[in-house]
Each structure stands twice: as C-alpha cells, then as structure tokens.
Amino acid sequence: MSVYRILFNPLSCNKAGEAGARKLDSVLEGELKYESMIGLDYREFFSSLDPDEKVVLCGGDGTINRFVNDTKDIVIANELYYFATGTGNDFLFDIGKKPEDGLVDLKPYIKDLPSVTVKGQTSLFLNGIGYGIDGYCCEEGDRLKAISDKPVNYTSIAIKGLLGKFKPVNAKVTVDGVTKEYKKVWLAPTMNGRAYGGGMLATPNQDRLNPERTVSTLVYYGIGALRALIVFPSIFKGEHIKHTKMCEVITGHDVTVEFDRPTALQIDGETVKNVTKYHVKTAK
C-alpha cells in the first residue's frame, strides 16, 4: 500500500489550504498523512521518510515558490508531486494541466530554476518576475485583501492602472551584457515560464524546460495609455508580441532591469515595494 505524505499550506486559497488538500482523500488510494508546511523543518522531514513514501505538495504558485526556496539545499530522494489547490495556478496552466488532472510530477520543473536578486536578497522563482504595472497590480491587490475578503479582480486593477493609476517609466534592460534603453515602459517582466498574473501569456514562446535554461524578458513600451489599454487584452492569448513596435522579447541567461523611479515588483505573486532594479541569473 502506498504511503503519501501530504504537505499543505493552510494559508493558501484564502485560508482553505487544508480543505483543498483533503480532496486527495477521494483521489488517492493508500495511507495519507497530512502535515502543515508552516514551521516545518524540511531537512528533518525528508531525512525521516522511508524510501518508498511519496510526497505531495498542495497549494498554488506561491506555495511552490516558498517550497523550492526552503528546500534548495536539500537533496530530495523521494517521489515528489504537486496537487493544485491555490487561487493562482499559472504554473499548471503553463504546463498544459488543470487542477482536475490530479498529481503532477514536480521534480523536472523545480530543477535548475533561475534566481532573482532584489534589494540584496536572492531567491529562486518558478514562473516569473513582474515589474511595472504587474507589480503595481500585486501591490494594489494586497491592499484590497487587507481591507476586504472579496476576491481580487486583477484585470480590473490593471485596466485602472492603464487608465492613469500607474505611470509608465523609463528603463534600462541588460541581457547577457547587451544594454538597451526604453521610454514609457509599462511592463518589463522576466519569465521562466510563459504565463503569470492569472493566465497572461507574457512570453508565449518561453519554454521552462528548454535545454539551455534561458529566460525571456518582455518589454512593453513606447506608447500612451490609450494604446497600451487597447493592446493589453491580447496578452492573455500571447498575441501582443505581434505588435513589434511596442513589444520586444529578449532571451538570455543574465538579465538586469533598471527603472528610473521606484516601482512595486512581484516574484511569483509575492510583492516587493519600491524597487528600482532586479537581476536574474539562470542556473546554467
């Protein structure tokens, strides 16, 4: 009989993380042991497992991000799976899966992840680094969550941002030693996968498992608010990159993005305020 060690984040999915994880009772056959990730000593946890025990990580994109950073120095010998229970599932969307598809073998996707350094702090990331109006959206979303239990509509926040709440910036983007400067930058994310922000295909040709482990940086720039608003919905189908005079995608291993004024940034949905620069390095 298979033994599953189920790790859940009780704070994910609007604090319904454990309830979401326990849906596995009707999905898996075997012995299921549930354990909260909060305060868990991962080194002790993995060293205590029998070789044939399977580990299932439950949550959303933020949960995976926290897990890979907390376990980056640990060799995980056991089988490791992911079960989506979060509100943000861009990782699952990117790999062509849905929550109802059940368990996903997680190991191939958390190997050789890129890192980002912001304000002197370095961390791994799963999906992407949002900088510009996407960072603004996360900052505003956090503010709304603090005052209300209602679901946050990030698309609505983005539209309001494009209509004047967010002011575009000037940016300097350096990829593998080549620097370009841009005016009126609305977005400057660097992506490990294709999608972020609830299904926005920022870099539709990016492959998170590409052999070179390169990342892709999108620069959405050079236009006024009205034009930015008109084209913006096409990002959900990845069709924005057809507008080559306002969208440029640069692929490489070493990326630095600098803004001319402080702006909020997000790392797999986690907000960092007042950022002027981020630096991404790939594992290869």
CB-side neighbour CA atoms (13 Å) of 178 = 7
Rounded-to-integer distance, Cα 88 and Cα 70, Å = 20
Instruction: Give the pLDDT score at 163.
Output: 82
80 and 34 in a common domain? yes
Instruction: Give the pLDDT score at 202.
Output: 96
233 and 158 in a common domain? yes
CATH number (domain holding residue 222): 2.60.200.40
99 and 130 in a common domain? no
Instruction: Give the pLDDT score at 193.
Output: 97
pLDDT in tens, 99-133: 889 999 999 999 999 999 999 999 999 999 999 99
265 and 178 in a common domain? yes
CATH number (domain holding residue 85): 3.40.50.10330
Instruction: Give the pLDDT score at 79.
Output: 97
pLDDT in tens, 158-196: 888 888 789 999 999 999 999 999 999 999 999 999 999
Instruction: Point out the domain boundary residue: 110, 133, 166.
Output: 110
Name the band, by pLDDT with cuts 50, 70 and 90, for residue 155: confident
Rounded-to-integer distance, Cα 22 and Cα 38, Å = 17
Instruction: Give the pLDDT score at 75.
Output: 93
Instruction: Give the pLDDT score at 278.
Output: 98
pLDDT in tens, 28-70: 999 999 999 999 999 999 999 999 999 999 998 989 999 999 9
160 and 227 in a common domain? yes
125 and 250 in a common domain? yes
Instruction: Point out the domain boundary residue: 64, 94, 110.
Output: 110
Instruction: Give the type of residue at 46.
Output: F
Name the band, by pLDDT with cuts 50, 70 and 90, for residue 145: confident
106 and 80 in a common domain? yes
Percent of the chain surpassing pLDDT 90: 76
Write the CB contacts of 132 (distance below 8 Å, at least 6 apart in sequence).
166, 168, 169, 185, 186, 187, 188, 189, 220, 259, 263
Instruction: Give the pLDDT score at 160.
Output: 84
**Domain assignment of residue 18, given as a range:** 3-110
39 and 162 in a common domain? no
